[in-house]
Amino acid sequence: MNVNSPRVTHAKCDRLSKRLEARRRRGGILALMAILLVVLIAFVALAIDIGYIVMTRTQLQAAADASALAGGTELLPGLGINQTKTPAEVAIAAKEQAVAYAAENPAGDLASAYADSDRDIRLGKAVFNAASGTWTQSWGVSPYNMVSVQLHRWQSGSSANGDGPLPLFFARVLGRDTAEVNVLATAVILPTRGFRVDPGGGETASIMPFAFRKDVWYRRRDAQKWLEEQIASGTSAADVAVDEWIEYEGVGNPDDPDDPASYNRDRPLFYDFDLNSQGEVVYEDVVDPATGLTVQKPRVQRDVFDNYTREQIGPSSWQVSSGPDQLLEVDMYPEAAGAQSLTAGNAGTIDLGATDNSGAELTRQILYGLNETDWQSMQEQGIADGEGVFTFENGTLSAEGDTGVTASILDALSTIIGEPRTVMLFDETSDESGNNTIYVLSGFVGISVVGVEKSGNPKHVWMQPAKVIDGTALPDYDGEIGEDDSIFTPLILIE
């Protein structure tokens, strides 16, 4: 065949065209791959920066949570009963703790998160609004039960402080050198409406199997206020004279006969009346120094004292020493003679749990609190309701008495001196004695045993009011913390 024929020439051109087309396609694919590679690298870079921002946000949130909870631990001295710090002192302590705990946590490229105590930390009062399902937050309003912490990586020019913007790795090629990160955490502490020990959790409630006279507890409160007024007026604590008969207007509740409005010769403040076996006040003949005449006067016995000092020496440890601390205590056992006649052979011990009157059970409950088994028995007895809640929201509750205080129980009480516990208040009892006594219970109070006198007769157990934080306590979301509140939930993060 002639190689110069038209058909041969066309074939050569066709092959050449195909080779050129293939080259063009390969060049286009390479260009497209280069473009896609740039886009892919940009996405990877963006993903790295986004991941870095998310990681930093997580770190800051953990720091804010820890900071708010740490600051919240300083709220208790300014809440409820036995307030030992002013709102200003509480704010200083809470902010110091919050700043310190924030600094224990990393914040992206920084080893420590930074919080400005004036700008980033706020204190206030929080109450839950059940109708709207939201929290009513009143900032700067005391008594403080809320701490809020905001942490930032956003303040331009503040990198030296630790709140400067977060530097990015690859977003700079897109014109973005930094990112802003802001987080918030708020912790609250609440009063309790009752207790519940859930099955299977291994929890115990801080409740001891003791009931104490409500009228004496309120009288101790008013005696405390009287003492504080004497000291505030300029009288040194050592010079305050506690007479049998003190004219004093107490807090009082007109709807509660156990919460009187005044104390005078008809109602002593630091003392209780002696009663005979029929529960009647015992009178004795005395000479009136003003007139020289013999008159009858009720015989009384002191039951409100200031003989012990309780101090917290660690997060969960206390020490008690002899000597006054201007915080009054009461004699839990035996109470004044009038109370003994009402609870003979019993002295305030009650059945919370098994009803076999076992001293070993009482000892265990004193040392370790009420457990799941106790709670099941309390539900069967109707002390805890169908949902397992032990509360006085629906009124008083009745409980049987136990056999009384033994040497082993006094030993157990000696073991827990200084530790916070919960006891019940009772309005009245039945006329029976020992484990036949029925107590009408009406409330919870936080206490600490500060003294146990095991030798001699009668023996004594002294207790002071104390603040209790209990993990089994149920929050009273709607309630504001009052001056008489002594039992609280652990801190709760609400945002």
The model's confidence at residue 361, banded by pLDDT at 50, 70 and 90, is confident
| Full domain range(s) for residue 162 | 26-191
Do 102 and 227 fall into the same domain? no
Domain assignment of residue 3, yes or no? no
Do 309 and 442 fall into the same domain? yes
Domain assignment of residue 305, yes or no? yes
| pLDDT mean across residues, the chain | 85
pLDDT score for 166: 85
pLDDT(352) > 70: yes
pLDDT(27) > 70: no
pLDDT(403) > 90: no
Do 229 and 119 fall into the same domain? no
CA distance 103 to 95: 12
* Last-in-domain residue among 191, 221, 236: 191
Do 91 and 214 fall into the same domain? no
Do 206 and 343 fall into the same domain? yes
Name the phi and psi angles at 76, rounded to 5.
-55, -40
Do 85 and 218 fall into the same domain? no
Domain assignment of residue 86, yes or no? yes
Do 285 and 179 fall into the same domain? no
Name the phi and psi angles at 278, rounded to 5.
-95, 5
pLDDT(4) > 60: no
pLDDT(308) > 60: yes
* Last-in-domain residue among 167, 191, 215: 191
Name the phi and psi angles at 417, rounded to 5.
-55, 130
pLDDT(433) > 60: no
Nearest to 82 by CA among 217, 191, 237, 224: 224
Q: pTM of the entire structure? A: 0.83
pLDDT tens string 40-59: 766 777 788 788 889 999 99
What percent of the chain is predicted at pLDDT more than 90? 50
Do 156 and 235 fall into the same domain? no
Domain assignment of residue 245, yes or no? yes
Do 171 and 202 fall into the same domain? no
Domain assignment of residue 301, yes or no? yes
pLDDT(18) > 70: no
Domain assignment of residue 21, yes or no? no
Do 408 and 267 fall into the same domain? yes
Domain assignment of residue 281, yes or no? yes
Lowest mean pLDDT among 13-22, 31-40, 305-314, 390-399: 13-22
Q: Could you count the other beta carbons within 10 Å of the beta carbon of residue 335?
A: 23
pLDDT(343) > 50: no
pLDDT tens string 170-226: 767 666 778 889 999 999 999 999 999 999 889 999 999 999 989 889 999 999 999
CA distance 420 to 491: 17
Identity of the amino acid at 205: A
The model's confidence at residue 338, banded by pLDDT at 50, 70 and 90, is very low
The model's confidence at residue 266, banded by pLDDT at 50, 70 and 90, is confident
pLDDT(148) > 90: yes
Do 182 and 208 fall into the same domain? no
pLDDT(341) > 50: no
Do 370 and 416 fall into the same domain? yes
- Residue 337 tokens read as 């003679």
Written in H, E and C, the secondary structure of the chain is: CCCCCHHHHHHHHHHHHHHHHHHHHHHHHHHHHHHHHHHHHHHHHHHHHHHHHHHHHHHHHHHHHHHHHHHHCCCHHHCCCCCCCCHHHHHHHHHHHHHHHHCCCCECCECCCCCCCCCCEEEEEEEEECCCCEEEEEECCCCCCEEEEEEEECCCCCCCCCCCCEECCCHHHHCCCEECEEEEEEEECCEEEEECCCCCCCCCECEEEEEEEHHHHHHHHHHHHHHHHHHHCCCCHHHCCCCCCCCEECCCCCCCCCCCCEEECCECCCEEECECCCCCECEEEEECCCCCCEEEEECEEECEECCEEEEEEECCEEEEEECCCCCCEEEEECCCHHHHHHCCCCCCEECCCCCCCCHHHHHHHHHHCECHHHHHHHHHHCCCCCCCCEECCCCCEEEEECCCCCHHHHHHHHHCCCCEEEEEEEEEECCCCHHHCEEEEEEEEEEEEEEEECCCCCCEEEEEECCEECCCEEECCCCCCCCCCCEECCCEECC
How many domains, the chain?
A: 2
The model's confidence at residue 452, banded by pLDDT at 50, 70 and 90, is very high
The model's confidence at residue 10, banded by pLDDT at 50, 70 and 90, is low
pLDDT score for 344: 44
Lowest mean pLDDT among 17-21, 87-91, 398-402, 458-462: 17-21
* Last-in-domain residue among 191, 223, 250: 191
The model's confidence at residue 339, banded by pLDDT at 50, 70 and 90, is very low
Domain assignment of residue 105, yes or no? yes
